[in-house]
Amino acid sequence: MITRLRQRRGDPALTALALLTLGLYILFIIVPVIMSGWKSFTDENPLLAQTRFIGLANYREMTHDSTLAASLGFTLGLAAVVTLLANAAGIGFAILLNQTSLSFRVMRMLAFLPQVISGVIVGFVWRYILAEDGILNHLLTALGIIAQPISWLGTPDLAMFSVGLVATWVLTGFTTVVHLAALQSIPVEMYQAAKVDGASRWQQFRWITLRMLAPGTTISVTISLITMLKLYDIIAALTSGGPAFATQSTALYIINLAFTDDRFGYASAVAMLLLAVSAVVALSVTGLLRRREVDL
């Protein structure tokens, strides 16, 4: 990239920017990943001065770590379900909001709002809503839908559902905006031509909208998956990974290993595993969706 930039005469600012970006990327992404990779072969404890190289011991331990298996299972399941729901909802909202009037512009902004709010704040707000004595239970009781409060965060299954609900709510803001941008790039002439050819609204949606949305969907699904695979803040504030670790994501487990159990080495190994899983999932899904784009 830099060589190509240098080849363009009169762009010192661009070169400087590229160097700065590259430097920051190396400093804050590449170097920490390499350091984490190195630490994963050690027994590093943040409180102890001495660190030993222990080869693959941490990776061997992962094969029989039931807590890791549970957290990884929860994280992958959550990522799959939330990505699916958030993108389906995002397409729906994008179609509904694909208008130009002021009121729709305001609604678009509101749709994006959950994405802008800090995950910690989202977690605390929803914790208040979903509490035993929270707004949701009060509402459902007032409407006569339930007689007794539901323990949204107190039973493992419902707590997992609640985390999924909140994550979907947050992510839908992002998927809506991405799909809306993709929708607005579809030439109106295509719909006009389809109408002339006698295409129904469903046929227009099936053969024009969905096909033209495909590149946006690829981006949206990939980023949604990556976001969910590293989910930490919402869960930390909403359930702290409970009850009884039922909603402990792998990212939360890594933090607990490092700063509660003092096991930097093992936490780094789990982090490398999460990186590998995220890379495999993201690359596989991107590959599949890109092929779909071509097929469409």
Partner 1 sequence: MRHNRLLTACLAAGLALTAAGCSAASPGAASGSVTLTYLTFETPDLTASFWKNSIDNAEAKVPGLTIKDIVSPNTDRDAYAKQLQASGQFPDLLQSITPSTFAQAGLLKPYPQDWVNANFLDPMGNANKGKVYIPPTNSQIIPMVFYNKQLFARAGISGTPKTWAEFTADCAKLKAAGITPIELGGGDSFAAAMPLTGVLSVDVLGKDPNWLRERYAGKVHFTDSNVEAAVAKYRTMVANGYFEPGALSVSYADSIKDFTSGKAAMYMMGSWFLGSIPKAGAADYGSFLTPADDGSVVVPYAVGGSMAISASTPSPDKATAFAESWSLNPANLKTLIEGDGAFPLIKGKTLQDYGVDVSQVYQDSYTYVLQNNTKVSAIGWVTNDDAMPSGLNDDFYAAAQALFNSNDVAGQMAKLDSEWTTATQ
Of positions 14, 15, 186, 212, contacts partner 1 by CB under 8 A:
15
Label each residue of 78-125 as H, E or C.
HHHHHHHHHHHHHHHHHHHCCCCCHHHHHHHHHHHHHHHCCHHHHHHH
Looking only at residues 23 through 52 of this chain, which bind partner 1 when binding is defined by CB under 8 A?
45-49
Size of the site for partner 1 (CB under 8 A): 37
Distance CA 242, CA 109 (A): 33
- Cβ at position 23, least distance to partner 1 in Å: 8
Cβ-based nearer residue to partner 1, 156 or 215: 156
Buried b (16+ CB within 10 A) or exposed e, 203-234: ebbeebbebbbbbbbbbbbbbbbbbbbbbbbb
Exactly one of 261, 276, 287, 296 binds partner 1 (CB under 8 A); which one?
261
What is the closest distance, in whole angstroms, from the C-beta atom of residue 289 to partner 1 in the complex?
A: 38
Cβ-based nearer residue to partner 1, 171 or 273: 273
CB of 255 to partner 1, least distance (A): 9
For residues 172 and 123, give the distance between their C-alpha atoms in angstroms, rounded to a whole number: 16
Q: Does 11 bind partner 1 (CB under 8 A)?
A: no
> What CA–CA distances, in Å, run from 248 to 36, 42, 67, 83, 119?
21, 25, 9, 18, 16
Out of 72, 91, 130, 170, name the contact with partner 1 by CB under 8 A: 130
Name which of residues 99 to 128 contact partner 1 (CB under 8 A): 127
Neighbours of 58 (CB within 10 A): 24
Which residues contact partner 1 by CB under 8 A? 12, 15-16, 19-20, 45-49, 127, 130-134, 148-156, 240, 242-245, 256-257, 259-262, 264
